[in-house]
Amino acid sequence: MTSMSEPGSGALEGLRILEVAGLCSAYAGRLFAGMGADVILVEPPAGAAHRRQGPFIDNVPSIERSLTFTYLHAGKRSVTLDLDTADGQALFRKLAATASVVVESEPVGVMRARGLDYASLKEINPALVYTSITPFGSDGPYKEYVANDLILLAMGGLLTLGGYAEAEPTRAPGDQALLAGGQFGAIGTMMAVLDAEESGAGQFVDVSVQECVTTALETAIQFYDLEGIVRRRGGSRLENAPGSGLYPCKDGEIVLSAGASSARWLVLMEWLESEGLTRAEELSEERWKDRDWVASKEATEIFKEIFIPFAMAHTKRELYEGGKQRGIPLVPINTPADIPASEQFRFRGFLETLPHHTLDRELVMPGAPFQLSDSPWRMRRPAPPLGGHNLEVLGELGLTPEDLQRLSSGGVL
């Protein structure tokens, strides 16, 4: 198991983790690598499937240019093994004997058929923690069902809460459900590792991505249980809440929260009047204190006619600064282009720069969403080229370059 790390080294220094390539397990492995673990990514000879997932650097499709792969596998070493061959399985067992953790997201039953499931591997490494991250978990009537991110968001119940009430459900971009599986898988794995260090016995960590998604429903299930209320999508709120909602501006969009008849509304009126905005005085009329009238479509349209031209004359930054000075909740809707410019992110060192593993350039990517004071997060290497560490890792098992050549010719590597 992991040894006690020296101050300044990674929290998981000394921990070896075998990660069988798959989207559900990839983010867990990334978290382990950033905290100092030796993460060995086991890929099929043709490479992990998400090496072929775009977007690609310079829009040039290549197994070494996938931004998805480059981000998710930073800090890891790559070995290629065909786990459907006897030689590949034998080498995986030897690696598992040296590891503290195996994390995989293969379809239920696949690793068992290979003789590489937890029951098989714990015979050679009793302290091994074995984490399986699958769509619906390792048992139950859905255990063999295949699902992608959209299906899991739907089956977990979260999709019904995403988007506007007046439109169809909306999925967040990317693979948010699969990433949640990796995140919760990392947490469960670390708890099992801590227990194994005390007891000397590993255990099986069974992660259902559907269940990970359902945890994001917050109080929706309790609402139904206690009050019989089914929570629905809330919508844009622009139709019935003057002063609150999403509004366009000069270079994007902002969110404003200064509802009519509130103290913030009065400050907003003073701001608009100080800018010489025509019709601003209309918002001080007595009718804005009438809740029924404020909820009308007429009130919404009047506010939009007055506020939107003001917002369109200013940038997100200008509106944010103006709102902050006056105590008005007004925030920009940041785009990916805004993130690298954020002074908050820069101050905390959240964004990290790593060289690309095959191209002569550096890439900026999100780092860790947490900071450990005595064992800081640090990516020690970029994402690996396919099989780039075969000699280094398999050489530790006693294999020679000639052995690797023979196995490669036989399709094992």
pLDDT digits (tens, 9 = 90+) for 51-104: 999 999 999 999 999 999 999 999 999 999 999 999 999 999 999 999 999 999
The residue type of 242 is P
CA atoms within 13 A on the CB side of 300: 14
Examine the domain organization and report whether 207 and 289 are in the same domain. no
For residue range 118-163, what is the model confidence (pLDDT) as tens digits?
999 999 999 999 999 999 999 999 999 999 999 999 999 999 988 8
CATH number of the structural domain spanning residue 326: 3.30.1540
Domain final residue, candidates 304, 332, 360: 332
CA angle 249–345–347, rounded 5-degree value: 125
Q: What is the pTM of this model?
A: 0.89
State which residues form the domain around 251: 244-332
Q: Which residues of 316-352 are buried (b: 16+ CB within 10 A; e: fewer)?
A: beebbeebeeeebebebeeeeeeeeeeeeeeeeebeb
The number of distinct structural domains making up the chain is 2
> Given the DSSP bridges, would you call strands 351-355 and 362-366 parallel, antiparallel or unpaired?
antiparallel
Q: Does residue 231 sit within a domain? A: no
Does pLDDT of 359 surpass 50? yes
Residue 81 shares a structural domain with residue 40 = yes
Decide which of 332, 366, 386 is a domain's last residue: 332
Decide if pLDDT at 2 tops 60.
Answer: no
Pick the closest to residue 50 from 67, 33, 34, 32 (CA basis). 67
Specify the CATH number for the domain of residue 120. Answer: 3.40.50.10540
The DSSP result for 117-152, as a single string, is SHHHHTTT-TT-EEEEEESS-SSSTTTT----HHHH
CA angle 344, 345, 347 (to 5 degrees): 65
Domain shared by 136 and 164, yes or no: yes
**Amino acid, res. 216:** A
118, two tokens: 């937890």
| Same domain for 398 and 270 | no
Q: Note the helical H segments in 200-335.
A: 209-214, 220-227, 263-274, 291-294, 297-312, 316-326
Q: Does residue 193 sit in the same domain as residue 319? A: no
Segment 261-270 shows an average pLDDT of 86
Task: For the chain, give the mean pLDDT.
Answer: 91
Alpha carbon distance 323, 312 (integer Å): 15
